[in-house]
Amino acid sequence: MLEILPLLVFTTLGGISAGAYAVRAIGIAANHDGVNTPNDTQGRDWIFPLTCIVLLGVGLLGTLMHLGQPFRFLNGMSNPASMISQESYWAVAFGIVLVVDLVICKIKGSAMKAVQWIGFVAAFGLMMVTGLAYQACTFVSVWSGAITVPLFIVGDFAMGVGLCLAFIKSDGLMRVAHVGNIALSLGWLAVIVGYMVHLLEVEASLILVAIGAIIGPVAAAIASVCFLKKFLSPRTSANVVLACSILGVLLVRGAFFAAGIL
């Protein structure tokens, strides 16, 4: 299990950072004030990019754990044609945008939409190449299916919605975010079912993935429905969605990596 831990650390923490930033950018397009409004953050917009930086940074430490030595990370960036290099480039680019966003938020008290949209591109690129890196492993049948790329992208978005919910204080935005979470959870569930079909084709175990589907998108969607029906408080529902989305992704990706490595 120790072999898959660094991969889980990077793809989960880096993924939630990228997913949350991308979700926030989409929120900016849908709502003029974005996921965080001045009333939500009271001039503390910098907390969001700082959180994403910390998550991405710890995730990159997982990459160093996987490679074993820092020099291997530098060597991994030396071949632009390799997926490992592409993953490194996008991660570094995303990290730079996060730092720029943090500095601007600290100085101006609010984020710049142009920077956030550049961050969206970098975040989505990181999610995309992460999926492609594993799909390119044609010698590993449980990884090489077409469903691998959406398995990473949609899972990251699911975690991203959960993290964004933790930053919302406006009831109106909270309701919009929970409706979005329900829709995204249904899409995430469909992707997981698609991966389960792929596992059946290669005669791999479905148990852990099925548990991840129930604990992840199913439970997260139920929590959002409970909030909309006023059965759960805003904070409780946000915490449940975040916890369920992360745990669901951990279980699905844990099964993904274990099937290909162990």
Q: Which of 50, 52, 25, 30 is nearest to 163 (CA)?
A: 52
Q: Which of 260, 258, 133, 156 is nearest to 216 (CA)?
A: 156
The pLDDT score that the predictor gives to residue 27 is 82
What are the average pLDDT values for consecutive 10-residue runs of the chain, which has 262 residues? 82 96 83 46 78 94 63 58 80 96 89 90 96 92 94 98 92 92 98 96 93 98 97 95 97 94 77
Can you give the pTM of this predicted structure? 0.91
34: left (phi over 0), alpha (psi -120 to 50) or beta: left
Task: Please name the residues in contact with 70: beta carbons below 8 A apart, sequence gap of 6 or more.
Answer: 64
The pLDDT score that the predictor gives to residue 169 is 85
Could you please report the per-residue DSSP string of 130-183?
A: HHHHHHT-TT-TTT-STTHHHHHHHHHHHHHHHHHHTT---HHHHHHHHHHHHH
Beta carbons of 19 and 131 less than 8 angstroms apart: no
Distance CA 216, CA 121 (A): 26
> If you count DSSP H runs as helices and E runs as strands, how many of each does the chain have, helices first?
12, 0
Sign of CA dihedral 50, 52, 55, 58: negative
The pLDDT score that the predictor gives to residue 66 is 53
Distance CA 155, CA 16 (A): 9
- How far is the first Cα of the chain from the last one, in angstroms, to the nearest whole number? 8
